[in-house]
Amino acid sequence: MMHGEFLFRCWRPASAVLVAFSVMGFPLLAAAQQEAPAAAKPAKPAAPKPVATPVAATPAATPVAVQPALLGQFGDWGAYTASPSGKKVCFALAKPTSSHTAPPNRPRDPAYMFVSSRPAEKVKDEISVIFGYGLKANTDANIEISGANYAMYTQLDGAWVKNAAEEGRLVDAMRHGQDLTVKGMSAKGTASTDIYSLKGLSQALDRVGQECR
């Protein structure tokens, strides 16, 4: 089931290290999507959470090729671990169970949601989404779950929870929910709506927590 190499930006854009690995059977090249304009520059994050000193100077840094280990598959979520640059990273990963665009049938690469932990940086359960296209600059993405909405700041093809104080509440809602919806807007004005099943997420996060304490 686990085939196809792609690049995973394993933490905030300020830290440019990427992890290259095989999973889910789809190729994904972060920050180089079909919907992105040729000369697009990354939008400045509106309110990023504090991050550790970047291990690379710019987002254009050469990716670090690391093969992660699958810790277990739990429902629709896989649990993984890797050690780019010698720093351990653990994450739960899933694909949308359904995706729609408006206008319909616009080209895009596969989308993914990650919940990541990095013990060396004292980061636990950080939520991020790769949309499969370049996102519209200075425009937030959005997560909807159980009647609540969580804004996400965007950069290139990725998004992160805008208000750090909300992330714990969101993770708790995800652990107890059935699904969530992620909405975004591409650089060319295409709106996307992705629905992620939350089946198995709680177990995947528990396994990630055991591996990255």
Return the number of other C-beta atoms located less than 10 Å from residue 30's C-beta: 21
CB contact at 8 A, 191 and 184: yes
Per the structure, the complete domain to which residue 28 belongs is given by 5-211
Cβ-in-10-Å burial (0-12, 13-18, 19+) of 166 comes to middle
Considering only CA atoms, which of 185, 71, 202, 81 is closest in space to residue 133? Answer: 185
Q: What is the pLDDT along the chain (213 residues), one digit of tens a residue?
A: 333 334 455 445 433 334 444 443 333 333 333 333 333 333 444 444 444 433 333 334 444 556 789 999 999 999 999 988 888 999 999 999 999 999 998 889 999 999 999 999 999 999 999 999 999 999 999 999 999 999 999 999 999 999 989 999 999 999 999 999 999 999 999 999 999 999 999 999 999 999 998
Sheet architecture: strand order including 77-82: 69-74, 77-82, 89-94, 112-118, 123-130, 158-161, 148-155, 141-145, 179-185, 191-197, 98-102
CA atoms of 162 and 154, how far apart (whole Å): 9
Q: Which are the contacts of 148, defined by CB distance < 8 A and separation ≥ 6?
A: 173
Q: Which are the contacts of 107, defined by CB distance < 8 A and separation ≥ 6?
A: 34, 35
Reduce the DSSP state of residue 73 to 3 states and report it: strand
Look up residue 5 and give its two tokens. 């190499």
CB contact at 8 A, 202 and 175: yes
CA torsion sign for 142, 98, 186, 18 is: positive
Considering only CA atoms, which of 81, 95, 76 is closest in space to residue 200? Answer: 76
Beta-bridged to residue 8, according to DSSP, are 19
What is the rounded (10 degree) CA torsion for 189, 30, 10, 55?
Answer: -110
Cβ-in-10-Å burial (0-12, 13-18, 19+) of 14 comes to middle
Looking at the structure of the chain, the number of domains it has is: 1
Return the number of other C-beta atoms located less than 10 Å from residue 181's C-beta: 15
The confidence score (pLDDT) of residue 200 equals: 97
Q: What is the helix (H) or strand (E) element at residue 82, kind and residue range?
A: strand 77-82
pTM of the shown model:
0.74
